[in-house]
Amino acid sequence: MSRVKLVVIGGVAAGMSAASRARRRNPELDITVLEKGRHVSYGACGLPYYLSGEVRDANDLVVYTPQYFREKRNIDIRLEHEATTIERGRKLIHTKAPGARTIEIPYDKLVVATGGTCSSKLPGADLPGVFTCSDLDGAIRLRTFLEEKRPSRGVVVGSGYIGLEMATAFSQRGIAVTLLTRSAELLNGFEPEISKRLEALLQAHGAVLKKNTSVTAISSSPVDGLCAHHAGGIEAAGVMLLATGITPNTALVESAGISVGATGAIVVDDRMQTNVNGIYAAGDCVEARHLVSGRPVYFPLGTTANKQGRVAGENAAGGNDRFDGIVGTLATKVFELELARTGLSLAEAHAAGFHADSVTIHTVSRAAYLGGRPLIATIVWDMESGRLLGFQAAGEEGAAKRIDAAAIALHARMRIQDMLHLDLCYAPPFATVWEALLLAAGQAVKKSRRR
């Protein structure tokens, strides 16, 4: 009797988590991972730090090598193998292999972890010197370009966390950065006060910021090499990075009749199974349930991909694990500023139908007499029930990890009136007597009573 064949399409966070978990669950499975690139199991969230030079060697981002998976985990890793068609009838994956060969790989169970792409359809996006940053191969090409061409000016298109982290990386390499964004505020999903703090920071670091403008094309230029044409004018630069958002890679599954939701990403149940029995999906190609709004969202992040991958792998190998959803937690660092959020912003809360309100507080990261740094935080709550809906923070110290406490309060569906006396830790080197979350909850309760 032949062994059950599990095929995993995609070998980064979700895919390798799935393969590893499936192996742990079932030593008898025949596991194959198809990865279209030349690397597996790397920290994609570390790419900006590789580009800035803080991470010297691309291999430092690699958690486990293909050899490790082959030898220690008995997982057949196929690099530069791109799945082109899922043939459900015969349970085959048509795959482009190196040397322009096409091979057929049979499966019994399938995990789709095709990820997302920062691709752009902008005219001129394919010119030399124009990059997106979605995988390690692309990052290596970009860093090689930066080291060889040494551009003095760079344009980043997009003001999400990837665009901002890349602008930081460019600046740390001594490249003068212009950031173009069609948004009115940086870091969509963050509250206006926090966005403003971020703008001041970018300006303090000499970045040029042009908001409310859409890039329409990129052309080559005799002077700097490239020109970005946008509503507000033309920016010339030697390198351009397009970070206008991640789109889930779903072409492969859509042609196989696997459902994609209104978010554009693959629909899965809480076992990470698609609408097709035996076909699972995880990571940047799937949507997740937002546990605050109750709605499906596309919120691709490495940490979620790892969790979903594990659940998909466990279940593909015969287990019964569940992934309930996310609360929308995200952290980023832009220059020295830590920014983090969890739950819904006020605008998102309104859009989700909550009768929401918010308060922003200003505090410090630790006792002022021990050099506490400013910390801004915004709390969002539902005025009818008092339920916590979101929390955001920004500061040069301790802002990011403070978000976790609020994230757990969201998972627990806490109400602001129950949060006033939470027993959070205090010692002068780390905190103030009234922790930011408690101060914010206190202000929220006070504002609620005034109504």
Q: Which residues are catalytic?
A: 45
User: What gap in Å lies between CA 178 and CA 152, rounded to an integer?
Assistant: 11
User: What gap in Å lies between CA 175 and CA 242, rounded to an integer?
Assistant: 16
Which residues from 311-330 bind a second copy, rule CB under 8 A?
311, 323-324, 326-330
The answer to the question of residue 340 lying near a second copy (CB under 8 A) is yes
| Residue closer to a second copy (CB basis): 253 or 406 | 406
Q: Which of 403, 416, 439, 440 binds a second copy (CB under 8 A)?
A: 403
The answer to the question of residue 376 lying near a second copy (CB under 8 A) is no
- Per rule CB under 8 A, count of chain residues that contact a second copy: 63
Rounded to the nearest 5°, which phi and psi values hold at 212? 55, 35
**Which position has the token pair 């109750």?**
294
Q: Which H/E stretch holds residue 151?
A: none
| Site track for a second copy across 34-63, x = CB under 8 A | ---------x-xx--x----xx----xx--
Q: Which of 121, 222, 423, 449 binds a second copy (CB under 8 A)?
A: 423
88 by DSSP, 3-state: which? coil
User: What gap in Å lies between CA 100 and CA 114, rounded to an integer?
Assistant: 20
| Residue closer to a second copy (CB basis): 73 or 289 | 289
The answer to the question of residue 369 lying near a second copy (CB under 8 A) is yes
Bridge partners of residue 104, in order along the sequence: 94
Choices 64-72, 226-234, 240-248, 416-424; region in contact with a second copy by CB under 8 A: 416-424
DSSP secondary structure string, 122-150? -TTTTSTTEE---SHHHHHHHHHHHHHH-
The radius of gyration of the chain's CA atoms, rounded to the nearest angstrom, is 23
* Tokens, residue 290: 């937002």
The answer to the question of residue 425 lying near a second copy (CB under 8 A) is yes
Q: Which of 151, 402, 440, 444 binds a second copy (CB under 8 A)?
A: 402
301 C-beta neighbours (distance < 10 Å), count = 21
Q: Which of 27, 277, 429, 451 binds a second copy (CB under 8 A)?
A: 429
Rounded to the nearest 5°, which phi and psi values hold at 412? -85, 0
- Give me the residues that bind a second copy (CB under 8 A), please: 13, 43, 45-46, 49, 54-55, 60-61, 291, 301-304, 306-307, 311, 323-324, 326-333, 338, 340, 342, 367, 369-370, 398, 400-405, 407-412, 414, 420-431, 433-435, 437
